């Protein structure tokens, strides 16, 4: 069984993330979406809320599992017996950091490799930070996130 892990903050999940989830889930038997529970990051949504939101919008994809994790990604991948880590690349600015992380993770856990999905062009500008910025200023986020999450995100800023 080929297991992949797609790790991230997903604070909140965007249509760009969902696009990567749909495309990468076709290449593995099981895709574990790993929600980073890093208390240092001061996220808008708790890890539990982020897991719940991702479960809601991926409920129609069969081979998905969503869970939160703390600590080293390479360690999480080893425990889950994952062969690949999935990451997304939007622009050259993502590249340097992603390359370093992929190399560190491979160094720590040689059984795991990172594969990259280039963003679909329509989502190349999209990040969780953009969504939060627009929602904070009461802008329309309906083309950035799954429609069923719009009200929930807006409510955080009321
Ligand atoms: P992190 O804090 O680990 O970067 P994010 O939740 O911001 O977590 O992103 C998780 C992964 O999804 C990263 O690899 C990021 O590059 C990728 N990603 C984010 N937005 C997009 C997008 N619009 N298109 C493709 N990949 C994306």
Cα of 20 from ligand 1 centre, angstroms: 9
pLDDT computed for residue 86 by the predictor: 98
pLDDT tens readout for residues 85-95: 999 999 888 89
pLDDT computed for residue 93 by the predictor: 86
Our answer on whether the CB atom of 12 is closer than 6 Å to any ligand 1 atom is no
Closest ligand 1 atom to residue 124 Cα is 23
Return the residue matching tokens 């953009």: 130
Cis ω before 12 (30° cut-off from 0): yes
| Closest residue by CA, ligand 1 atom 9 | 8
pLDDT computed for residue 41 by the predictor: 75
pLDDT computed for residue 52 by the predictor: 98
Cα of 13 from ligand 1 centre, angstroms: 9
pLDDT computed for residue 64 by the predictor: 98
Q: Catalytic residue among 41, 42, 107, 137, which?
A: 41
Our answer on whether the CB atom of 6 is closer than 6 Å to any ligand 1 atom is no
Q: 137 catalytic, yes or no? A: no
Does this model's pTM top 0.85?
Answer: yes
Q: 128 catalytic, yes or no? A: yes
The residues that bridge with 66 in the sheet, in sequence order, are 33
Burial level of 105, CB count in 10 A (0-12/13-18/19+)? buried
pLDDT computed for residue 63 by the predictor: 98
**Mean pLDDT computed over every residue of the chain:** 96
Q: What are the per-10-residue average pLDDT scores of the chain (158 residues)?
A: 97 98 98 91 93 98 97 96 96 92 95 95 95 97 98 95
Our answer on whether the CB atom of 123 is closer than 6 Å to any ligand 1 atom is yes
Cα of 157 from ligand 1 centre, angstroms: 23
């Amino acid at each position: 069984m080929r297991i992949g892990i797609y790790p991230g903050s997903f604070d909140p999940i965007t249509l760009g993330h969902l696009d990567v989830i749909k495309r990468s889930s076709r290449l593995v038997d099981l895709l574990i979406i790993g929600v980073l529970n890093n208390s240092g990051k001061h996220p808008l949504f708790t890890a539990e809320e982020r897991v719940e939101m991702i479960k809601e919008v991926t409920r129609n994809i069969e081979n998905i599992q969503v869970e939160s994790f703390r600590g080293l990604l390479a360690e999480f991948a080893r425990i889950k017996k994952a062969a690949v880590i999935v990451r997304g690349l939007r622009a050259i600015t993502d590249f340097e950091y992603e390359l370093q992380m992929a190399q560190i993770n491979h160094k720590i856990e040689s059984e795991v490799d990172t594969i990259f999905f280039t963003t679909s062009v329509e989502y190349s500008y999209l990040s969780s930070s953009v969504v939060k910025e627009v929602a904070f200023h009461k802008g329309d986020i309906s083309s950035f996130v799954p429609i069923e999450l719009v009200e929930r995100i807006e409510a955080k800023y009321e």
